[in-house]
Structure 1
């Protein structure tokens, strides 16, 4: 079931900031190169410091759902067998993302599945640079005991509205983490607007260089 509703110059003022799409996939394994497929997707649009839209769906890739995945996520073989096919979900997901910035908690994981599933259908994602909320949190909020999504959410008082390890619940918590980081940057460094490219720039810096960089802008 579907539910829709300038790294080089991050200090520039922007009247209309581009959106960030916080993405989360549930999958059958860790790597598409080893045959893992997606089972569920949630994409949450963040714009002007607010969550404004979302795309959520189970996905049928005709894949076997291992027992440990069902135990972890609650996603069963019967659920994905009844879900919309990947040939339907992926084009709609890519259209939802468009050319906005992509974000994920451990972005390399979710981005590689997005690119692999798109490539298998002869499609391509047009998203701009990916923002990793794990790297971002490590650089902007140093010293926390853990940066795993569940642990950092608990430490910052961010509550899951659904079951952890389901795409929509995880994506929403990660989106709220990004908004928490944005608010922290605004307060700590007296910033007005935070362009997504600033997150990209912070991701690319060594952690030790981040405070001086932020102070300089």
Structure 2
């Protein structure tokens, strides 16, 4: 049984919202958490083979000039596949990042054996009193020290990792759990808000 405190947190910056519409990854950032400690990180810009729209340049701070000399997506994603290994995976709004990971891996005939969970969905259930569940808002809500620029992949993955550890600590303390299984967090993503206390309380008594 794998625990939720050992996984790879990842974040993509992209040319747009949908790989089905031809959008590509332009940056990957990731951190590895092992038993609640950040132990490694991965960051790379990648050249998607076409120009990035001005809106994306402004939003991410990643310019066409920066991408011109970056490695092709295929090379970066081959390296990233090695970084992931067999780890489970986490992202804030994981459905977005999973779509791009799947699409970029499909292009290079790679796959991954780990499973995804989502800090956005979990935070909606654990931090129901937060003003909203954007990453920056939750970082402030949890009083996580923040000094970098959101919308860059490594920084967002670092902040997501700290948020995730804060979520796990909150669950451990509130529900007196010594360990939080990864599968429990996946279940939590799909649990109605009013049933969260019952789910986590039953985990403690069971």
TM-score by length of structure 1 reads 0.89
**Whole-Å separation in 2 of the counterparts to 1:209 and 1:95:** 38
Compute the displacement of 1:149 (Å).
0.8
Q: 1:37 touches 1:63 (CA, 8 Å); kept in 2? A: no
* Partner in structure 2 of residue 36 of structure 1: 23
Matched, 1:93 2:80: yes
3-state DSSP of counterpart to 1:103: strand
* Partner in structure 2 of residue 172 of structure 1: 158
**Whole-Å separation in 2 of the counterparts to 1:113 and 1:98:** 18
Compute the displacement of 1:161 (Å).
3.7
**Whole-Å separation in 2 of the counterparts to 1:188 and 1:63:** 49
**Contiguous gaps of at least 5 residues in structure 1:** 1-5, 7-13
* Partner in structure 2 of residue 155 of structure 1: 141
TM-score by length of structure 2 reads 0.93
Structure 2 counterparts to residues 38-57 of structure 1, below 5 A: 38-57=25-44
**Whole-Å separation in 2 of the counterparts to 1:191 and 1:89:** 38
3-state DSSP of counterpart to 1:40: strand
Compute the displacement of 1:181 (Å).
0.3
Runs of 4+ in 1 over 3 A off after TM superposition: none
3-state DSSP of counterpart to 2:26: strand
Compute the displacement of 1:18 (Å).
7.4
* Partner in structure 1 of residue 123 of structure 2: 137
3-state DSSP of counterpart to 1:191: coil
